[in-house]
Structure 1
Amino acid sequence: MNMTVPNILTVLRLLAAPGVALMFLYFSRPAADWFALILFITAAITDWFDGYLARAWKQESKLGAMLDPIADKAMVVIALMVIVGYSSMSPWLVLPATFILFREVFVSGLREFLGDTAGTLKVTPLAKWKTTLQMVAIAILFAQGVFEHYLGMSAMGMGPEIFQDVMRGDVEDLHGLWWKHTGMVWTGNIGLILLWVAAFLTLITGWDYFRKAVPYLKD
């Protein structure tokens, strides 16, 4: 195995996947949200760099081809698990996350079953767009957690009536409640919309892989 720079970046991204969850184990919020967000974005950026460098330096390898999709899936699956676990379990979040996780398990099972013929299920451009959308959506949802926690800290001990008065502008906003609430709402809505679009693309690419695998599933 040749540990080139692109392969090292891929391995680091793979190791960063569980690191996202560990941030919430070793740090309190909102520090954990910040560290998870920074770690996830950094790892997502390496997803572009390792492929670009491998092609530019002609260092494409079987190890990289094997680890790259695993690292992507690990990042997405673990990050979604953390986000759903720290959410209010809203079905608007749980459903797209379920579709994405189901597809990843299903396609991985197909590839394992096909064995030597798994090359039939090569990553398509639409699947790459799907992965990009997933990572952008997850990063934005991590940002929502940051806004949400800072809003909760600023509103601590404040009654609902006073909070509403501040949001209406009847009471001076001394703690920045308005921009924290606005940031929380916008990142939450944008993140959810992108996650649903990613889930839709996930189902389309999953069906495409299944269709390609059907001839190899016949007795």
Structure 2
Amino acid sequence: MLTLPNILTLSRILAVPLLVGFLWWPAWPAGYAVAFALYCLMGITDYFDGYLARSKGTVSKLGIFLDPIADKIMIASVVLMLVATRDIAGWSLIAGIIILLREIAISGLREFLAQLQVSVPVSKLAKWKTTLQLVSLGGLILAGALPAFPWIQTLSIAALWGAAVLTLITGWDYLRVGLKHMD
């Protein structure tokens, strides 16, 4: 069912190759600026697809399926590109790995629990984790667009580590719930 919310979700998935393309050349601040604008637009569509689906009563199985996938594709692509361009480097690679591993592990756990008809609601802390993660990655993209302001990179790396810590905490919370349903 191609409702407006589902079209917005699909647009995020289709925009990922463009986002990756603009991040491809780390010495091209204009590309990072366009990537930042696109990243922000993708974040806005993420908000509005859910808001519109709930407010209009058009929540669909396709949307429930695609929305988390779109989020994970976007996050994973940005983390991988920022590692490839060395915007995330050194010890901060660990923060990126933590974020990617949690995304994969929790997706698998949710799929397993869904087969058992066990729902795991998103906690407020997990929403803060997601917000900090999105802000940190957006900040790292913005830092590439504005290399004359190195403090943006510094703050964004600090936010990335904050997101990684929240990722560990919320990942453990989900795992603890999931372990109750495993033999």
How far off its partner does 1:204 sit? 1.0
Provide the residue aligned with 1:197 in structure 2: 162
Q: Is the 8 A contact 1:84 1:93 kept in 2?
A: no
Whole-angstrom CA distance in 2 between matches of 1:215 and 1:66: 24
8 A Cα contact 1:10 1:67, kept in partner: yes
**Quick one: distance in 2 between partners of 1:88 and 1:215?**
39
- Residue deviations 1:53-100, cap 9 Å, x none? 111111111111111111111111100111111116632421110110
TM-score normalised according to structure 1 size: 0.77
In structure 2, the CA distance between the partners of 1:38 and 1:213, relative to structure 1 (3 Å rule), is same
Q: Secondary structure of 1:210's partner? A: helix
Task: Specify the alignment match of 2:136 in structure 1.
Answer: 137
CA deviation profile, 1:86-142 (whole Å, cap 9, x unmatched):
116632421110110111111122223334236433322222221121111111101
User: Which amino acid is 2:9 matched to?
Assistant: T
Q: State the TM-score, normalizing by the size of structure 2.
A: 0.90
What aligned pairs does 1:90-109 form with structure 2 within 5 A after superposition?
A: 90-109=89-108
Q: Distance in 1 between matches of 2:138 and 2:89?
A: 18
Aligned partner of residue 59 in structure 1, secondary structure: coil
Query: What is the rounded CA distance, in whole Å, between the counterparts of 1:26 and 1:84 in structure 2?
Result: 12
Which protein has the larger Cα radius of gyration, Structure 1 or Structure 2?
1
| SS of match in other structure, 1:32 | helix
* Contact kept in structure 1, 2:12 and 2:42, CA below 8 Å: yes
Q: Which residue of 1 aligns with 2:79?
A: 80
Q: By how many angstroms is 1:22 displaced?
A: 2.2
Q: For the structure 1 residues 132 and 52, does the alpha-carbon distance in structure 2 shift closer, same or farther, using more than 3 Å as the test?
A: same
Which structure 2 segments of 5+ residues have no match? none
> Does the CA contact (< 8 Å) of 2:139 and 2:156 recur in 1?
yes
Does residue 123 (structure 1) correspond to residue 116 (structure 2)? The answer is: no
Shift of the 188–27 alpha-carbon distance from structure 1 to 2, 3 Å rule, reads: closer
Partners of 2:87 and 2:140 within 8 A in 1:
no
Output the aligned Cα RMSD. 2.0
Identity, in percent, stands at 42
Q: Given that residues 13 and 74 in structure 2 are in contact (C-alpha distance below 8 angstroms), is that contact kept between their aligned partners in structure 1? A: yes
Q: Gapped runs of 5+ residues in structure 1? A: 149-179
